A and B are shown apart, each in its own frame.
Chain A
Amino acid sequence: MSMARFSPFELVLLNSRSQVDTATLLLLAWVLVNRQHVSEGQRRRRLAQVTAQFRHGHELGPVMSIAHNQDLQAIQLAAEILRKECSQERSLSVLHQSITVATDDGDLSLANHYILRFLADLLNVTPTTLSTLFYELTGRPLTSPEDPSRHAYWQRHNPDYFNQKAREAAAKQQARDEAAQQADEKNQQRKQKKQRKQQEKQRQQEEAQARQAHARQERERQRQRDDQSRREQAQREQARQDRSRYERAQGERRQWQRTAPPPDRTTRALAVLGLPPGASRSDVRLAYRRMAQLHHPDRFFTESEHQVALASARFQRIKNAYDYLMQTY
């Protein structure tokens, strides 16, 4: 046995003249509380209007506040009383009142879809009867409740939100596109800059190479000039020596040398190798080899020192002539 105090609804029931009416009142108040877009005053007035014929004999305020609190135990008690003490006619009447209260001028709320069906099950009303009753009262068929846990439901019932979201997404996409475009342009600029820099570098390298080549050519030319001048000097020196020798020889063999033309150095070198003037480079090489074999100092190592020295001098002269010819030819 419970020692708890009497709950507010139990007290209301004990004070009621008709427990069935009070229970019906609470269930109708429950339906009204779950109706949307209705003010508290409107709910109270509507409840008073619907239950004008009831014989409960107490205030509606406590019942409304119990319904507002969604007191499950009170609703269970009301449902038990209704099931126990309601006749078939009264059941239909209660359902009739419930549908009226739930769908006065607006749509049936989702919660009331389930509450009406609960009441129908409680009062042993078949789905067909409920549908018929609903259609007769509202002029619309009783549809199955929608599912608010789906995206499609909210797309239908709150299109503003999704339109705004779509606009925001479009704006974001545009901003992203612009950012990407800017990044592309920046990349392009960077690439162009890099390319310009590379071209500049390449140009500088080419210039440097050209300068180096020019300097090399200059050096080469300088070297050639130096060689030329050295050779000319050597030739002049040689010519001077030859002239002095020639003059000395002229003094000795004045008679026949006065008539011979002074041979230049190439002719003399060819003569040393035993070749006529105008011989080719291969002739010179062959003649040198032959002369070198003939006059090499190693061939005379069995002879006297004097012979060896003479051979060395001869060989030296042949070699000099050959070297000179190799340079000039």
Chain B
Amino acid sequence: MRCPNSALRQDAESVLAVNEHREAYDTLHHTLNDIGCLRARLGLTHGAHWQGDVANDFSLPPDHAISRHDELVDRVSNAVSLYNRWRRWRGPWLLVAVFATGAGIGVVMGFALCLGLAAG
């Protein structure tokens, strides 16, 4: 079906029918999408520099992504607490437990081997 608006058709032909133009257009479109997303997450969808058609076209509703900085701080805190725990007391006891488990398995397997030999 052919678009009845001739100006719109001419715009579309000039922009989308030429590879070079289309690439430039797509790149800018991608960048504007990114900026729209960033503004939505940073609460800048009503900034003084974000007005008019572009703002209308590329503003996104706020999503549930939390602040990246808070996330980083949480992750660092978690890593620090894990490290501290390991360093304090859980680390050595864990090593002892692993060693004891390995020794027990070895004893059981040796006992089974002795039984097999005796039966044979």
Does A6 sit within 8 A of B, measured CB to CB? yes
Does A151 sit within 8 A of B, measured CB to CB? yes
Which among B25-33, B86-94, B100-108, B109-117 touches the partner chain?
B25-33
- Tally of B interface residues using CB under 8 Å: 39
A151 touches B11 (CB 8 A): yes
B15 touches A148 (CB 8 A): yes
A1 touches B74 (CB 8 A): yes
* Chain A, interface residues (CB within 8 Å), range: 35 or more
Nearest chain-B residue to A120 (Cβ)? B49
B31 touches A10 (CB 8 A): no
Which 10 pairs from chain A and chain B are nearest by CB?
A121-B47, A117-B49, A77-B68, A151-B14, A80-B69, A111-B31, A151-B10, A151-B11, A154-B14, A121-B49
- Does more than half of chain A's interface fall in helix, strand or loop, or is it mixed? helix
Does A327 sit within 8 A of B, measured CB to CB? no
Query: Once the chains are docked, how many angstroms separate the CA of A115 from the CA of B28?
Result: 11
Nearest chain-B residue to A80 (Cβ)? B69
Chain A residues positioned under 8 Å from B72 (CB to CB): 10, 13, 77
Which among A122-130, A200-208, A256-264 touches the partner chain?
A122-130
Known: A2-B74, A6-B75, A148-B25. A70 touches B15 (CB 8 A): no
B31 touches A34 (CB 8 A): yes
A76 touches B42 (CB 8 A): yes
Chain B residues positioned under 8 Å from A130 (CB to CB): 49
Chain A residues positioned under 8 Å from B30 (CB to CB): 70
Chain B residues positioned under 8 Å from A13 (CB to CB): 72
A149 touches B11 (CB 8 A): yes
B39 interface neighbour in A118, A145, A148, Cβ under 8 Å: A118
Q: Which of A82-102 contact B (CB under 8 A)?
A: 83-84
B69 touches A121 (CB 8 A): no
Query: Once the chains are docked, how many angstroms separate the CA of A329 from the CA of B10?
Result: 97
Chain B residues positioned under 8 Å from A306 (CB to CB): none
Does B98 sit within 8 A of A, measured CB to CB? no
A150 touches B38 (CB 8 A): no
B25 touches A158 (CB 8 A): no
Nearest chain-B residue to A81 (Cβ)? B69
B21 touches A76 (CB 8 A): no
Query: Once the chains are docked, how many angstroms separate the CA of A76 from the CA of B54?
Result: 20
Does A135 sit within 8 A of B, measured CB to CB? no
B35 interface neighbour in A1, A118, A127, Cβ under 8 Å: A118
Query: Once the chains are docked, how many angstroms separate the CA of A120 from the CA of B39?
Result: 12
Chain B residues positioned under 8 Å from A111 (CB to CB): 27-28, 31-32
Known: A72-B38, A115-B35, A151-B14. A126 touches B48 (CB 8 A): yes
Nearest chain-A residue to B18 (Cβ)? A161
Chain B residues positioned under 8 Å from A308 (CB to CB): none
Does A143 sit within 8 A of B, measured CB to CB? no
Query: Once the chains are docked, how many angstroms separate the CA of A75 from the CA of B35?
Result: 10
